Structure 1
């Protein structure tokens, strides 16, 4: 089937009659591969979900025989039409597959009534919130302060500088689209019933837009369906305020890099999986054991997309060659660089470091430095410009010594900046990396304060688990109390130790659960292999056991006023057998981004103990004034990413009806909530009102806050905790 055929009838039209609206032929661009088609759909889904630039809230729904279309006004006075279909996971609608966009060569006129379409409901889009119900809402895109022209660099490396080759190059931003679609026949605007008029009337200034104006896409007498990533994003550039277009252009580069990565991953994955099988064995659920085996699962997970963020495979400012040598999807091994810093400049407890930690002399530096200096590991990708800039900023240039020879072999984990020590796989080192992922502002450096926050978060979570013996046996914590830093985001390291006793267990990051498993059955998932070993092949039983532990753990933590940023990368399933029965536990790591309600914590632990545990946090945003921000993290992380995302993907794979999977989630969540009590103000009553029975749930606006807008314009206090709202798919009607 041609990619120009949008209804599956093989003739390139949209509703089976050869054109878009029954009044002319419309040509479409067929130069779109499956990867570009998939990425374009995910990007459009994200823009709709977050109501970026008001695309959804300002749109009107046009009812047509082939389905609904959104007519969206742009800043240049024209409109575009986007076909949509029902979704339900964090948004009522998504871009209809295959995704495409129709520019309309006219100024918006009378619109077809939307007949109450939920897509245009005011509360479904524009209002972004920092914490649902507990802080003032900030409208996405509301002007508030000056916008920056482009994202700042990372460690001296310009963001977006590498454009997909082995060396850094800079692609033209939103220029004339490559492989542009053709317009060979007339097509009227949707609902117009006639030939498209020329664009007329006053036009919004284009502010130097590099793209030709709307008439290049839809000249008088004709229109073109846009199906390529470049063409669609170039047209949607007109939705952005001129002050935001520099950031939009950077996001376009991010999208192109994601497409490059998708194609590269498809080429290399078979060979990588062969190497995994050779190194770890061909039966993952039996042979990929312990923390060492989890690295193989990390590699499988690295080939998967983020559940929500559309360009999660992009690592800004890193070339293909740099990623091949250091990224988890290639499963490489490499050695770290080391810098010796004056001991008085380093914060941390050297006595807690592993026994193998090198002295400066062991690194080939003068042995006289052993008493005065402390060795700090440096990621090879951060050892040049980023390190030099950090030493200048801390005035350590003349006193620090970089060892010439690398030392200590490691492999990357799923997060890439965290590496596992080859000869001590239970020890991981988290290192600053000169890149950004999941948005240009999600820099993968290490702010010194986050190290203290991680240690405090671990102590707080451990204190809660210690008061809940049954839960304490089901939830394991990585030890993140050992760290060093010299007051700069590129002079820091976290030493993460895994709990003992995992050697005979399957330690599987949640992000890998639905990855294809090695073997002849191309439909088999990692989850299938685990279910076959531990649950007699019953995938539903595995999910049931997982959801039971997940919700019991996080509802109990909520009762103490605590919610963790334990998303799919930070949560692992630990599977083994105990007393002849399967045992499923959770392993949690990265404890530095929680939300804590001090009053509720004090009510559970006592004021003095709560104050002691809270005193270690550096980031003031961690402490909240109410339950709302804590419930928001519970909903967006525990419910959406750790439960809902699995259900919707399994349903798309045909493993079970969506309604059955969502009922399982609701039932297990309800059971966990009911244990917390239902009196007014009780933790159970709060979670039931804010999550289980709420009409709408918070949804992370990750693209808006992370890439498209400055913090001043988005109003985001924390780009990873900035929200819009979406339907509650746990309700019997799916929130629609």
Structure 2
């Protein structure tokens, strides 16, 4: 078996797994109610975390009293998680009657905001659940349809979405037909849509020796040429359709300052963010504006964020890359070196721009063993065994290990023919901390650069066996420069953070990084391993503490020493109607404090 096929199987590609688990689940078989059940799980997890509702032990009953409506909701606790990855039975009223995600969302939204309307959250939950049902059925019916490239398999494996978000798959305005080309869950791919734009209208920047406009022209289909005085600018196919329906765009077309050249060239595949597109043979990935609300934001580029991506690329090239390579040689920041934007007459040229693209480095060819962490840990109810790619990987590592291993004797837990699975899971986690979490902590604590390294922004490099041997961070938005600790970086790039609006107060940076890296990424990984039955979460938490003890800088100190940690409240953020791309960083989303399980196992 070739190496990419091994990774396909480990990451949820069903070409091998379907042969060992029976007939693929087509139609409704095994999937009736699965999307609703996942939506209910996410709503309950969000509420007990954000409202700090005590969750009893496994086998007991969770009770949630909602005072605004006088209702009590109950659910069996099937798995209790120190990190919040609880598993519940169906939600029900005291009478025993079950309630679906729509009713549950209405009740929780009313409780969270008794003076407002729950309609917005309810609409998004309905939209998310309907789409999730479609994704699960489509993937179950086509289990052998995954691409060859492991990178793209991982990007398109996030079928069920964020386990602690109330509306992970809501995409209002994106039709079922559009999703065939736009949704990574449906393995969507489509050609780019090209425009020729008056050069005077285009803002652009590049941190390389080649301008962004020349780089875009090099990606254009053979034979496509821009008329004199114009330059080629691509758009996501859905965004292009939206743009062409705008009066200001039609005015530019009438004036001859913008020309619609239509779709052309090979198909580009949707990745986990939906708006970032990938081709294994292209030197760049392309991250577009997409006027669709996905999770907490309408996904259109802000010009300062485009500038920020190129600025951070320049910083890496100016010396930060060498410093990082010396301290953590297998961790890299994926560059966004160039960008182009066309601020339309009705838009703020310093704000969100509907026709804009960021060019991202693409070192991930068809054989690259690099995968998105969120896709690796995602639940897969569309597959016959429902296991995540990480669960399959850890169990295979255990089967392939010697039962005489010292780690195996110490690990405990169920075996898979070699080392105990729990021992392998603990070792996998410790290596992940060394390769992925530690470099991010070093950048924050030593150099004052905070990275928004949640699981979807984090990539892990796997060796042929499946062990973590490196990591990557990607995002042109999520960089935070400390005003007090980033002096060494400003010495490398004078004026760093000014045009990019990347400098934020230290307390805000510390809060954000502690959540994104500590809670979402690290505790989320521990919860995924624990809730899959691979290892006790206490063992995993202790292993994480041991791996972090020698790295007490930046947000790590808070993770180890504080009884509570900051946490983004996704349900409350949605009820409040906030957009995380709008306004000051301090007020873009709702944050709460939650108990810190890392501190608890230390004390």
TM-score, normalised by the number of residues in structure 2: 0.77
1:414 paired with 2:293, answer no
Cα distance in 2 between the residues matched to 1:515 and 1:234: 26
How far did residue 312 of structure 1 move? Answer: 0.8
Cα distance in 1 between the residues matched to 2:263 and 2:387: 45
Aligned residues of 2:198 and 2:229 also touching (Cα < 8 A):
yes
Cα distance in 2 between the residues matched to 1:582 and 1:710: 39
Aligned residues of 2:244 and 2:250 also touching (Cα < 8 A):
no
How far did residue 296 of structure 1 move? Answer: 1.9
Q: Which residue of 1 aligns with 2:567?
A: 699
Cα distance in 2 between the residues matched to 1:654 and 1:272: 27
Q: Which residue of 2 aligns with 1:511?
A: 374
TM-score, normalised by the number of residues in structure 1: 0.64
1:431 paired with 2:301, answer no
CA offsets, 1:14-38, max 9 Å, x none? xxxxxxxxxxxxxxxxxx9343233
Q: Which residue of 2 aligns with 1:228?
A: 100
1:362 paired with 2:223, answer yes
How far did residue 384 of structure 1 move? Answer: 2.4
1:547 paired with 2:433, answer yes
1:380 paired with 2:237, answer yes
Aligned residues of 1:50 and 1:704 also touching (Cα < 8 A):
yes
Q: 1:456 to 1:243 in 2, by over 3 A?
A: farther
1:490 paired with 2:354, answer yes
How far did residue 645 of structure 1 move? Answer: 0.9
Mark the runs of 5 or more structure 1 residues left unpaired by the alignment: 1-31, 103-222, 281-287, 677-682
Cα distance in 1 between the residues matched to 2:259 and 2:155: 34
Q: 1:513 to 1:720 in 2, by over 3 A?
A: farther
How far did residue 432 of structure 1 move? Answer: 1.6
**Structure ranking higher in helix proportion:** 2
Aligned partner of residue 258 in structure 1, secondary structure: helix
Further displaced range: 719-728 or 546-555 = 719-728
How far did residue 249 of structure 1 move? Answer: 0.6
1:614 paired with 2:497, answer yes
1:402 paired with 2:260, answer yes
Cα distance in 2 between the residues matched to 1:71 and 1:346: 55
Q: 1:81 to 1:420 in 2, by over 3 A?
A: closer
Aligned partner of residue 553 in structure 1, secondary structure: helix
Q: Which residue of 2 aligns with 1:638?
A: 517
Mark the runs of 5 or more structure 2 residues left unpaired by the alignment: 1-31, 345-352, 402-423
Size of the alignment, in residue pairs? 531
Aligned partner of residue 65 in structure 2, secondary structure: strand
1:574 paired with 2:461, answer yes
Q: Which residue of 1 aligns with 2:482?
A: 597
1:41 paired with 2:41, answer yes
Q: 1:397 to 1:309 in 2, by over 3 A?
A: farther
Q: Which residue of 2 aligns with 1:171?
A: none
Q: Which residue of 1 aligns with 2:312?
A: 457
Q: 1:461 to 1:225 in 2, by over 3 A?
A: farther
Cα distance in 1 between the residues matched to 2:569 and 2:322: 35
Q: 1:635 to 1:253 in 2, by over 3 A?
A: same
Q: 1:299 to 1:719 in 2, by over 3 A?
A: farther
Aligned residues of 2:430 and 2:543 also touching (Cα < 8 A):
yes
1:389 paired with 2:246, answer yes
How far did residue 387 of structure 1 move? Answer: 4.1
1:351 paired with 2:234, answer no
How far did residue 233 of structure 1 move? Answer: 3.5
CA offsets, 1:325-347, max 9 Å, x none? 32111213321111111011111
Cα distance in 1 between the residues matched to 2:185 and 2:427: 30
Aligned residues of 2:579 and 2:588 also touching (Cα < 8 A):
no
Candidates 169, 180, 204, aligned match of 1:313: 169
Further displaced range: 407-416 or 340-349 = 407-416
Further displaced range: 525-534 or 334-343 = 525-534
